[in-house]
């Protein structure tokens, strides 16, 4: 596999000291995923574990009547199926790629073995679990308390954090599934956001956004949630940067091409 200076994109892996990362890296397989790809179906065993380096994965809850709603969005800050460390278990949600990306995957058994041996791996999984729980709690509150235009703005901002520019490759159908509403509601809400200057255009599966206006249109959840999660990651996952340097130069988990730099990443550097 070709080594590349861009190194790893996944924040949990990037926070691991080299000796702990070495417990995982030989077992990684690099994969890419396209929008609408289903990585785990509801009821499937949580195996393998995915560490996304880029892109976004939505956790979708499917109702018996065919309706869907998203409970969380995960990007390079997370690990899909990381709860398999608790023992073999099945997914309660369907994980669908919302934005194309790449990930390193490892079998749940190999991941559990490394987790048992490494305090650093246990630590990053625990930080991630707390961030995921926090997001779930905010989304639950948001769904109960806030209007659909504020909620749609929140999902658009969460997607925007994971793409390199202001054009989000997301269809109205995908937004309807994330929000758990009809397509007509998305169309109506989109025209409200357009009138507010938050969405300059919405054509051919691309939503162009105006970040500052969209932040004004969003409910408070996005800001509250992101601040808490950013703070948690910055305080708790910042330690082993100098030791990471040799890994970045030539690693098993390597990129053939540079992944998109997210705004979340640029915020970290400030």
- Give the footprint of Zn ion on this chain (CB under 5 A): 142, 146, 219, 221
Q: Is 16 helix (H, G, I), strand (E, B) or coil?
A: coil
Least distance from Zn ion to the Cβ atom of residue 233, Å? 21
- Indicate the burial class of 38 (C-beta count within 10 angstroms; 0-12, 13-18, 19 or more): middle
Least distance from Zn ion to the Cβ atom of residue 226, Å? 12
- Select 6 or 143, whichever has its Cβ closest to Zn ion: 143
Least distance from Zn ion to the Cβ atom of residue 154, Å? 6
C-alpha dist (Å) from residue 52 to 44, 78, 128, 201: 19, 7, 13, 29
- Select 22 or 196, whichever has its Cβ closest to Zn ion: 196
Q: Which are the contacts of 136, defined by CB distance < 8 A and separation ≥ 6?
A: 71, 72
Least distance from Zn ion to the Cβ atom of residue 62, Å? 22
Q: Which are the contacts of 125, defined by CB distance < 8 A and separation ≥ 6?
A: 12, 79, 82, 85, 115
Furthest-apart CA atoms within the chain: distance in Å: 55
- Select 164 or 223, whichever has its Cβ closest to Zn ion: 223
- Select 146 or 167, whichever has its Cβ closest to Zn ion: 146
Least distance from Zn ion to the Cβ atom of residue 182, Å? 20
Cα separation, 100 vs 55, whole angstroms:
5
Among 41, 131, 125, 30, CA closest to 85 = 125
Least distance from Zn ion to the Cβ atom of residue 264, Å? 19
- Select 80 or 219, whichever has its Cβ closest to Zn ion: 219
Q: Which residues are bridge partners to 29 per DSSP?
A: 105
DSSP H helical segments within 161-249, as ranges? 172-179, 183-195, 211-217, 221-236, 241-249
- Select 142 or 229, whichever has its Cβ closest to Zn ion: 142
């Amino acid at each position: 596999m070709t080594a590349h200076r861009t190194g790893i994109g996944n924040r949990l892996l990037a926070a691991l000291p080299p000796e702990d990362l070495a417990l995982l890296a030989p077992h990684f397989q690099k994969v890419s995923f396209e929008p609408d790809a289903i990585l785990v179906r509801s009821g499937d065993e949580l195996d393998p574990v995915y560490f996304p380096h880029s892109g976004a994965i939505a956790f979708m809850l499917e109702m018996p009547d065919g309706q869907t709603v998203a409970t969380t969005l995960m990007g390079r800050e997370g690990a899909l199926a990381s709860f398999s460390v608790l023992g073999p278990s099945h997914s309660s949600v369907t994980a669908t790629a919302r934005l194309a990306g790449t990930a390193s995957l490892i079998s749940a058994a190999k991941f559990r073995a490394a987790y048992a041996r490494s305090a650093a791996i246990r630590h990053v999984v625990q930080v991630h679990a707390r961030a995921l729980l926090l997001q779930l709690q905010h989304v639950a509150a948001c769904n109960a308390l806030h209007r659909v235009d504020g909620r749609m703005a929140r999902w658009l901002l969460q997607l925007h954090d994971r793409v390199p520019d202001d054009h989000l490759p997301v269809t109205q159908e995908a937004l309807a599934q994330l929000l758990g509403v009809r397509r007509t509601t998305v169309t109506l809400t989109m025209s409200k956001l357009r009138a507010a200057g938050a969405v300059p255009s919405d054509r051919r599966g691309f939503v162009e956004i105006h970040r500052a206006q969209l932040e004004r249109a969003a409910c408070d959840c996005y800001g509250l949630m992101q601040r808490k999660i950013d703070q948690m990651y910055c305080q708790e996952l910042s330690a082993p940067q100098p030791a990471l340097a040799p890994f970045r130069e030539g690693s098993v988990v390597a990129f053939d091409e540079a992944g998109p730099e997210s705004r979340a990443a640029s915020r970290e550097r400030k």
